[in-house]
Structure 1
Amino acid sequence: MLSLRPSRRLCHSAAAAAISCVNSSATVSSSVQNPKRIEEPALIKLKSERDPEKLFHLFKANAHNRLVVENRFAFEDTVSRLAGAGRFDYIEELLEQQKALPQGRREGFIVRIIMLYGKAGMIKQSVDTFSNMHLFGCKRTVKSFNATLQVLVQTRDLEAIQAFFLEMPSKFHVELDVISLNIVIKALCEMCVLDRAYSIMVEMERVGIRPDVVTYTTLISAFYKSNRGEVGNGLWNLMVLKSCLPNLATFNVRVQYLVNRHRAWEANRLLKVMIKIRMKPDEVTYNLVIKGFFLIGDLKMAKRVYSALHGNGYKPNMKIYQTMIHYLCREGEFGMAYTICKDSMGKNWFPSVETIIALLKGLKKNGQIGRANVIVNLAKERAPPFSSSQINAFKTIVSE
């Protein structure tokens, strides 16, 4: 006789499964109807928080969150906004907290702290961070030294900069490099302490830090701007003598110096030297030489260099267009100025308002109203660079 028990078990199992399925569906339905609130990522919350106090507490609460701590933008943005709110106490508390955490043992991270203090204008805290690196187990090298020196330069305190540069390396056993030299040379040049800048270059070379092209270019530029061309030229010769070849920036500094002294032909010869030694001039070089010939009243050569620019595979940029249009208008060459201006504006490169006004007046004076209207319409079509009042001024010049 067959037993009915297995069938009953099967029925019970099926029923249990059905009930389980129903319960599961009910649970899913319930969870869909009543979803749990999903927390916004910390980075999004930090970006959107506008209250300085809440921002401070939010960042502090995420001190161990790698997504926050390792995000350079989040760090810089937070410090910047707190500085803007004048909450330097919050900045110091946050950054000191970070130094005490494991990431504080990495020099790259400490460099970021040094630079953040610098951006907030907290120079003392920046220098203290460098001086105390050993207290939180971080190795100190020229990388952190240069970062601190760069921050200290902001003070324009000559004594403090020189003391740090000359005393700290021996105190903390840091070996300076050419980047250290270039930072302090640039700072001294900006403060017009040129002789001291030169002497530091000489002193550093004696101890084995060889100046590079950046060092020489910075000094040459500074001496040229101070009307001490003989020293600038001497530095140029010294650089070449020591097998440190000038780069494009160095050539452009020299071309600028020659142009400023109305020595356009010498500037042009230097441009040819660049081409001869395969030092490719750039738009800055050409713009300077073009301007140089305009300044001495040699329109023919200015136009020739402008044409050579195209022949050498270059395309004029906004500055070259501006130079050409401006000086052509000054010399009464309104036809060519119009053609260049039209080309420039067609590429969304716009001359200054003063230059456009000079061109419109010149075109009108010469009876070229149609061309003047073309320029006005181009300005109107691309209105964002010009205000409505400026457009109206253009129209008035043509219609009067």
Structure 2
Amino acid sequence: MKPNVVMYSTIIDSLCKDKLITRALDLYSEMVVRGIYPDIFTYSSLMYGLCIMGQLNEAINLLNAMILKNVDPDVYTFSTLVDAFFKEGRVKEAKSLLAVMIKGGVKPDVVMYNSLMDGYCLVNEVSKGKHLFSTMPQMGVTPDVQSYTIMINGYCKLKMMDEAMHLFKEMHHENMIPDSVTY
């Protein structure tokens, strides 16, 4: 069987999840040399691997290379990068990526909103997270259990127990079942 983009991408994704980014990048290079063109899944997997290894600048370089090769990033690609930048405390870059995403016509989904809210909570900007949480329905995005959990967690870290309890009650009112992370 001749290797194709699906075979390469599946292995690359697995290597990235196992934090074997050097091997994944080697396989990516081999793929390109063989004339097999990476797709969105290949690029997103590599960016995820680079991000979890703290190689954010390399991930951005890969994003730029991907765009130059006319492979459009999707909301998952952007969510991965935004989440990584927030976790590194690089809020300005995270916001810039969000602006690029929206300008490119990619609509934020619940995963992106959760990444943003979690990021704001990580840098103690819970009010910005709450603003996003509040605007989700107006943007056609329904908060999920993780959305509530992120905000409850953010409030608890800042000892804002009344706000946390309010959201917990709202969660029940919305017929959402808290998961083990919520508790």
Do these two structures clear the TM 0.5 threshold for a shared fold by scoring above it? yes
- Aligned mates of 1:236, 1:224 — CA distance in 2: 12
Mapping 1:148-187, distance limit 5 Å: 174-187=1-14
Does residue 216 (structure 1) correspond to residue 50 (structure 2)? The answer is no
Q: How many residues of Structure 1 are paired with residues of Structure 2 in the alignment?
A: 183
Paired position in structure 2 for 1:69: none
Within 5 A, what are the aligned runs for 1:29-108? none
The answer to whether structure 1 residue 197 and structure 2 residue 24 are counterparts is yes
2:61 is equivalent to residue 234 of structure 1: yes
Structure that is richer in helix per residue? 1
Alpha-carbon separation, structure 1, partners of 2:153 and 2:37: 44
Which residue number in structure 2 is paired with residue 375 of structure 1?
none
* Alignment match, 1:270: 97
- Structure showing greater Rg: 1
Indicate yes or no: 2:175 matched with 1:344. Answer: no
The answer to whether 1:301 aligns with 2:128 is: yes
Tell me the distance in 1 between the aligned counterparts of 2:17 and 2:181.
31
SS in 1 for 2:175: coil
Secondary structure at the aligned position of 2:31 is classed as helix
Q: For the Cα contact (< 8 Å) 2:149–2:181, is it kept in 1?
A: no
**Contact 2:148 / 2:167 at 8 angstroms: preserved in 1?**
yes
> How far apart are residue 185 of structure 1 and its match?
1.5
* Deviation of 1:208 (Å): 1.7
Q: CA deviation at 1:205?
A: 1.6
Amino acid at match of 2:107: K
- Matched-pair contact (CA < 8 Å) for 2:126–2:151: no
1:328–1:199 Cα change, 3 Å:
same
Residues 264 and 289 of structure 1 are in contact (CA less than 8 Å); yes or no, is this contact kept in structure 2? no
Distance 2:181 2:11 in 1: 40
The residue that corresponds to 1:105 in the other structure is: none
Match of residue 279 from structure 1: 106
Shift of 1:353: 6.5
1:44 corresponds to = none
Q: 1:222 to 1:347 in 2, by over 3 A?
A: same
TM-score scaled to structure 2, two decimals?
Answer: 0.87
Higher RCO by CA contacts (8 Å cutoff, separation 6 or greater) = 2
Task: State the partner residue of 1:318.
Answer: 145
Counterpart contact for 2:148–2:171, Cα < 8 Å = yes
Q: Is the 8 A contact 1:309 1:315 kept in 2?
A: yes
Distance 1:235 1:274 in 2: 15
CA apart distance, 1:218: 0.8
User: Take 1:185 and 1:196, find their aligned partners in 2: how far apart are those partners?
Assistant: 8
Q: How far did 1:272 drift?
A: 3.3
**Alpha carbons of 1:269 and 1:232: their partners in 2 closer, same or farther (altered >3 Å)?**
closer
Distance in structure 2 (CA, Å) of the matches to 1:217 and 1:354: 26
SS in 2 for 1:262: coil
Shift in alpha-carbon separation, 1:283–1:354, aligned structure 2, 3 A:
closer
Match for residue 246 of structure 1?
73
Distance in 2, matches of 1:354 and 1:201, equals 36
Shift of 1:321: 0.6
From the superposition, tell whether residues 269 and 204 of structure 1 become closer, same or farther in structure 2 (CA, over 3 Å): closer
Report the CA distance shift for 1:283/1:207 in structure 2 as closer, same or farther (over 3 A): same
CA distance in 1, matches of 2:64, 2:7: 24
Find 2:88's aligned residue among 257, 261, 280: 261
Change (3 A) 1:342 1:258: same
Q: Which residue of 2 aligns with 1:86?
A: none
C-alpha change, 1:333 and 1:192, in structure 2 (3 Å) is: closer
Which is worse superposed, 265-274 or 306-315? 265-274
1:214-260 CA-to-partner distances (Å, cap 9, x unmatched) read: 11111111111112223222211211121111112111110111121
- The verdict on how the C-alpha distance between 1:314 and 1:183 changes in structure 2, with shifts beyond 3 A counting, is closer
C-alpha distance in 2 between matches for 1:239 and 1:211: 9
Per the alignment, residue 188 of structure 1 pairs with: 15
Letter in 1 for 2:104: I
